[in-house]
Amino acid sequence: MNQPQTQTREYWGPDFSISDSDIEQIYNGFLEAEKPQTIEQISRLVVAHRVAEERNRIKQRLTGRQVYRPKNSYQVGDELVFPALKFANGRVTAARPGYDPQRGHFTVLAVEINGKAREFAAELPGEHVLNEENGAVLDPLADVDLEELYKVYGPLVAKKLAAALAKRDEFIRLGNLWFIKPLMAEVNVGHLHLAEAVLEMNEGGPLPTLEIMPHLDMDESLDSEVRRFSLDYALLQDDRFDEVAPPGRVAWFLRRLEPEGVVKVPERLQYTPIPYDRALLNPQLLLLERELDDEWSELEPAETPLPTILSLIYPHRWAGTLPLSSRTRPLFPTGISARQRILLVDEETQQEIVAWVVQEHRHVFGLADWYRENSIPVGGFITLKPGPGVGVVYLNYDRRRPQREWVRLASVEDNHIKFELERRSVGCGYDDLLIVGTDYVTALDVLARRIESTRRSLASLLVEIFPQLAALNPQRTVHAKTLYSAVNMLRRVPPGPLFAELVKHQAFHPVGDHYWQYEK
């Protein structure tokens, strides 16, 4: 006998969709529970509803009909049900004698099913599988294990369900919780003003919703989960408030009291996309691009958070930030807001640093003091590791005894950038191809703004900077990584467009191992 449909993978497969009956059942479920539900809870409701629906259909098909068994005899006009044919119904329209050399005499029934005549054996001697299986179908879903069914098919249902509910205005989603508008608690302008005052008294936050609620005089007759969900939804719609907790928690912050580098992109990090042809990048340049792991490169992100080492570039050293790149992004899971307040822990000293993940602009803000206190240079190696919990990341750098090293230093002369080599004390492991520094940060900022205002092309920057760097090398060659690091002192540029410009510009010539020469 065929399995009931809800017990098969095909039923819950790609063609499965959420029906109006499911929506009605979900709505009624909310009215009964009177509190928000997770997508898993709602999915279980849908699975149970579908099984109950099929069970009722089968019972209806069995009512007033006989279950077909080959050993039984039937008369013209009898109503039969065929479990092996997905519980199809049929009426016996004729009967005639039949004979099988192995089984002997039997009756051939003509049965009309859905307007078509089909023939079946009756009074058939001997054993037959349908005699046994069809005898146990009066309630084939009575003992179904709904929890086991959900374990197998629940994720498929949840995905379809979330998409279906998102299209309906009456359902509201916050994280993994769903609710319906008619049951929401009232949150008025007065409540929101009070919430703002509470957060302001607490230095902007962060405060969890449960610590804000007692000050708002909301309707105490409603379940606390309903009040909390309703307040979270109202705060989320108001631009004054930011939900800044890591995934799995909710905490609120006043946006106007967030650090400037969180609400506004730091000047040196502002990137205007540069169109370029990626086909110009050969496999070696693509590998170098992946090694640099710039947050604006077109790279597939890592699937899991893993310890990673990055080399700091000038814009992030200037702004006190870390890149949200393909390797670092999984370490900073995102919540429902564009910004999250997290904790970075110095793995060596256990110093805790409050930082902010700014998803849209692909950086983590809050490390300026740590960079300065530890004298981290541009090109310095920074280590990130998953912390002991969500929203906590271990931070470290390649500590070593300070040594005097030759370092490229930038200055400004006649509105042009200049480079020279000087010995400086460095107490951090670093990439010698990326290390650059300056004693003239303000002058470089002014020059960068001038370059931005005049909209100088990337090609013109390369032509200006390349000879300056080449003069520091007896072979008059410059590594692509060095050029990338130096250009980013004046303009935020990821490796892709920079490498493409090197390839297509006639004045630049590769000489091997990612070194280039410039000929006017």
How would DSSP label each residue in 177-199?
A: EEEEGGGPPP--HHHHHHHHHHH
In this structure, which CATH number among 1.20.120, 3.30.565, 1.10.10, 1.10.3470 belongs to the domain 184-258?
1.10.10
Cβ count within 10 A of residue 161: 22
Q: What is the pLDDT of residue 135?
A: 47
Tokens of 186: 């009232």
Q: Tell me how long the chain is.
A: 520
Domain boundaries, the chain: 1-179, 184-258, 278-400, 403-518
Q: What are the residue ranges of helices labelled H in 39-143?
A: 39-62, 129-133
Summarised one tens digit per residue, pLDDT across range 196-255 is 999 999 999 999 999 999 999 898 889 999 999 999 999 999 999 999 988 878 899 999
Contact yes or no for 270/448 (Cβ under 8 A):
no
Tokens of 262: 């969180």
Contacts of 65 (CB under 8 A, 6+ apart): 79, 80, 81, 89
Contact yes or no for 466/483 (Cβ under 8 A):
yes
Contact yes or no for 247/333 (Cβ under 8 A):
yes
Bridge partners of 478, per DSSP, are 516
Contact yes or no for 2/86 (Cβ under 8 A):
yes
Level-2 CATH architecture, domain 278-400: Beta Barrel (2.40)
Residue where the block lists tokens 């299209």:
167
Give the span between the Cα atoms of 380 and 80, in whole angstroms: 81
Contacts of 466 (CB under 8 A, 6+ apart): 478, 483, 508, 516, 518
Name the strands in the sheet holding 478-479, side by side, starting at the edge strand that comes first in the sequence.
478-479, 515-518, 508-512
Strands (E), 251-376: 252-254, 308-311, 321-323, 339-346, 352-358, 363-365
Closest listed residue to residue 430, CA positions, set 313, 322, 296 = 313
Residue 424 dihedral angles phi and psi, to the nearest 5° = -135, 150
Summarised one tens digit per residue, pLDDT across range 358-384 is 999 999 999 999 999 999 999 999 999
Tokens of 499: 């490498």
Contacts of 50 (CB under 8 A, 6+ apart): 6, 22
Give the span between the Cα atoms of 26 and 43, in whole angstroms: 9
Cα 99–chain centre separation: 66
Q: Which residues of the chain have pLDDT under 50?
A: 1-2, 135-136, 141
Q: What is the pLDDT of residue 137?
A: 52
Q: How far is CA 367 from CA 100, 370, 373, 396, in A?
A: 88, 5, 10, 12
Q: What is the pLDDT of residue 9?
A: 83
pTM for the model: 0.77
Tokens of 27: 């709505």
Kind plus residue range of the DSSP H or E element containing 28? helix 20-33
Angle at 147 between CA 143 and CA 152, to 5 degrees: 110
Residue where the block lists tokens 């379940």:
223
Contacts of 68 (CB under 8 A, 6+ apart): 80, 81, 82, 83, 120, 130, 134
Residue 168 dihedral angles phi and psi, to the nearest 5° = -115, 125
